[in-house]
Amino acid sequence: MPEQPAPAPEAPAPEAPAPAPDDAAPEAPAEEPPAPEPPAPWAPPADFRSASNMKDATPGKAASVDFAQADGTTRNALISVTQNYDPARPVPILFAFGGWKDSPENFRNYARLNTTGAANEAIVVYPRAIENAWEGAPYAVSQRGQDVAFMRQILAELQGHFNVDANRVYAIGMSNGGGFAANFACQAPDMLAGIVTVSGAFYNPVNEGCAPESVPTLIMHGDADRLTHYDGGTLHDAPYLPVPTLYQSIQQRNGCSGAPQVSELVNNVEVMRGTGCADEAVHWKLRGQDHTWWWAPDTANVAWDFLARQSKLHPGPAA
C-alpha cells in the first residue's frame, strides 16, 4: 500500500479572550455591527495573459509545465498526454489532486491512473498546489477561488494546444485533494462533467455558496477513517463535514427527488445511489476502511469507469 503523508501536528489552541472589564455599572451593550461580507473570490487582473511551456507536453510522455501567474510567480503541473492522442478527435481532460504535502509526482505514483482507460483516452493533469495544500483547508495559503482560477488557466492553455473535449473535463482527488475536487465542483460546475473524491477532507467552505449547476459525483470514503472521520469532526482547529452531510448536499444540487437506493458490493462496500437525479450522486461507503487510496477495490479504475461515461452532452447512467 502506498504510504500517505502523515498529518501535521495540530496548531496550538488560540489564546483565551481577555476578561470583560469589572465595572460596577456597565454601559448598555452597543448594537452589534453587521456581519462582514465574505471575501470576493480571487481573480487575476483583467489584462493578464498567461504563458506556459505547454509545447513540452507531447503524446506518450509526462511533462512538467510551468504557468506564469499574475503576481509574477510561476505555478506548475505534471501533464501526461495519452500516446493515442489524435488531433482529429476531441480528448477528455482529467485533473488529479493529491493530498496535503503530496507532490504531483508522488500522487501520480500511488494513484495508478496510468493503469486505467484514462491512460489511453485522456490528458491527465496533476497540478502542483501552493505549498502542497489546496484551497479550502485551514492550512492552505490559497485564497478561495485561486486554485480554481489556476484550473481554468490550465484548461485554457490545453485548449490552445490540443483538441480538448470541453464536455468531458473531470476531477479526482485524495484527502485534501478530494476536498478540493468537491470545492472545484461547487465553484465551477460549468467546467466539470464529473468528479470523484477519495477519503476527502471536507472543510466547511466545500458546499457554501455553490453555483447553481449539478455535477455528477462519486464520493468514496471509509467508515473507519481515523483522520477525516466519516461522521465529521475537527482537524487543525477547523470543523469538517460528515460525509453523509456532503452527500445529502450533492443530492440536492443534482436534483435528486427520492431516497438513495442502497446495495452491497464485494469487499464490504455499501453503495448509495441518488434517485430521480438530473446528474448522478453516488456514495461508496467502505466498511472498516481507513484513510487511504484503495487498491482493493481498485480506486483508480472504479473512478475512471464512473467518470468516463459522464458528459455534459449525454449524462451517464446510474452507477
CATH code for the domain of 85: 3.40.50.1820
Confidence (pLDDT) at 53: 84
Q: How far is CA 266 from CA 196, 223, 247, in A?
A: 20, 16, 22
With a cut of 50, say whether residue 163 has pLDDT above it. Answer: yes
116 assigned to some structural domain: yes
Return the C-alpha cell found at 43: 481573480
pLDDT, average across residues 228-245: 97
45 assigned to some structural domain: no
Rounded CA separation 136/289 (Å)? 25
User: How wide is the angle at C-alpha 133 spanned by C-alphas 131 and 135, nearest 5°?
Assistant: 120
Q: Which residues make Cβ contacts (< 8 Å) with residue 37, sequence separation at least 6? A: none
Return the C-alpha cell found at 88: 482529429
Band the pLDDT of 315: cuts 50, 70, 90.
Answer: low
Rounded CA separation 55/65 (Å)? 9
With a cut of 60, say whether residue 39 has pLDDT above it. Answer: no
Band the pLDDT of 43: cuts 50, 70, 90.
Answer: low
Is the Cα dihedral 255, 96, 109, 136 positive or negative? Answer: negative
Confidence (pLDDT) at 28: 40
Measure CA 41 to chain center.
17
278 assigned to some structural domain: no
96 assigned to some structural domain: yes
Q: What is the residue range of 92's domain? A: 54-255+291-308
Q: For the chain, how many structural domains are there in total?
A: 1
Return the C-alpha cell found at 256: 435528486
> pTM (2 decimals)?
0.83
319 assigned to some structural domain: no
- Tens digit of each residue's pLDDT (9 = 90 or more) over 54-107: 888 889 989 999 999 988 899 999 999 999 999 999 999 999 999 999 999 999
230 assigned to some structural domain: yes
- Tens digit of each residue's pLDDT (9 = 90 or more) over 184-196: 999 999 999 999 9
12 assigned to some structural domain: no
73 assigned to some structural domain: yes
* Interstrand relation of 269-275 and 123-127 (parallel, antiparallel or unpaired): unpaired
pLDDT, average across residues 289-311: 96
